[in-house]
A = this chain, B = another copy of it.
């Protein structure tokens, strides 16, 4: 296995922890950058993450742990970023070493608030990484089910499909199946947009709409997602593939999704501020809504669901009235 490229994961949330677990099924050594020294020491002593997927036990000698981001970048050939999008900017600011020749994968699923870009675009536009060296890891996949080793499917996207395959093979195991795609822009936008639709699903639920409406909302969401992505990056894609529709469904129908929960509180009458205050971490879809709405002002796709969520979250509009109007635009 010594010919295998060196891979490192950056981040210590539940999804990062799940990806480290997957890699440990195949690799002799997995790099793992953890910002907090405390968390790092905890893992070294207790062999599991102190805060997420605590049931997942690691072989410490298989992990190359560090809280020095530059050291970890220098170590690895493939860098998998799994930092919440709201913290990516401040983490990247610490970097003094070079990305030259490095291959950057994003498993972040969100917009970087400071640039308003999806992570792949941010890597390309801001960090000047060529698209051939940028990839995306996408679900449908709840980290909690990886911890339970329940069968899950991942899509690994990269313009250079060889690189997608290398990461795919490193993640695949008896409970993980992977496929590759060359649609890095589309899969990453899908992963971001689904969080907006999950907020919409949550608002609908909070307002008392039922399962019949939910299915109509999801049916409209996938059509809207298709129109939105087509304007951003037109190419041949089947929007019903797992990376798009599957990812929408696993989030939209999940009662554990942070985005859906956030929407549910809004639907039940919380203000945006009070809903955010109640949640330990801001739902990714909150930022995604603003970026998607603004981007689409230029692109002009028909996106009644995104528009509705935007008006509720950013213009203080009444959720009940906005959804009443939305119901007339769906079919």
Contacting residue for A215 out of B239, B247, B331, CB 8 A: B247
For A74, the chain B residues whose CB sits under 8 A away are none
Asked if A162 is at the interface (CB within 8 A of a chain B CB), the reply is no
For A152, the chain B residues whose CB sits under 8 A away are 210, 212-213, 216
Contacting residue for A211 out of B142, B218, B242, B331, CB 8 A: B142
8 A Cβ contacts from A180-225 to B: 208-216, 218-220, 222-223
Determine whether the beta carbon of B253 is less than 8 Å from that of A212: no
Query: Taking A219-B242, A331-B153 as contacts, is the C-beta distance between A212 and B249 under 8 angstroms?
Result: no
Contacting residue for A210 out of B139, B148, B330, CB 8 A: B148
Asked if A150 is at the interface (CB within 8 A of a chain B CB), the reply is yes
8 A Cβ contacts from A116-150 to B: 139-142, 145, 148, 150
* C-alpha gap A74/B215 in the complex (Å): 38
Query: Taking A247-B215, A249-B249 as contacts, is the C-beta distance between A330 and B254 under 8 angstroms?
Result: no
For A269, the chain B residues whose CB sits under 8 A away are none
Least CB distance from A254 to B in Å reads: 6
Contacting residue for A249 out of B139, B140, B219, B331, CB 8 A: B219
| Tally of A interface residues using CB under 8 Å | 43
Asked if A299 is at the interface (CB within 8 A of a chain B CB), the reply is no
Least CB distance from A123 to B in Å reads: 27
Asked if A246 is at the interface (CB within 8 A of a chain B CB), the reply is yes
8 A Cβ contacts from A248-295 to B: 249-250, 253-254
Asked if A179 is at the interface (CB within 8 A of a chain B CB), the reply is yes
Determine whether the beta carbon of A139 is less than 8 Å from that of B219: no
For A148, the chain B residues whose CB sits under 8 A away are 210
For A218, the chain B residues whose CB sits under 8 A away are 245-246, 249
Residue of B nearest to A150 (CB): B210
For A208, the chain B residues whose CB sits under 8 A away are 150
Asked if A327 is at the interface (CB within 8 A of a chain B CB), the reply is yes
Least CB distance from A13 to B in Å reads: 17
Determine whether the beta carbon of B211 is less than 8 Å from that of A145: yes
Asked if A51 is at the interface (CB within 8 A of a chain B CB), the reply is no
Determine whether the beta carbon of A141 is less than 8 Å from that of B212: yes
Determine whether the beta carbon of B153 is less than 8 Å from that of A216: yes
Asked if A297 is at the interface (CB within 8 A of a chain B CB), the reply is no
Asked if A151 is at the interface (CB within 8 A of a chain B CB), the reply is yes
8 A Cβ contacts from A16-60 to B: none
Determine whether the beta carbon of A140 is less than 8 Å from that of B240: no
Least CB distance from A80 to B in Å reads: 19
Identify the A interface with B (CB < 8 A). Answer: 139-142, 145, 148, 150-153, 177, 179, 208-216, 218-220, 222-223, 226, 238-242, 245-247, 249-250, 253-254, 327-328, 330-331
Known: A151-B210, A177-B328. 5 other contacts (CB 8 A): A151-B209, A153-B216, A218-B245, A219-B249, A239-B240
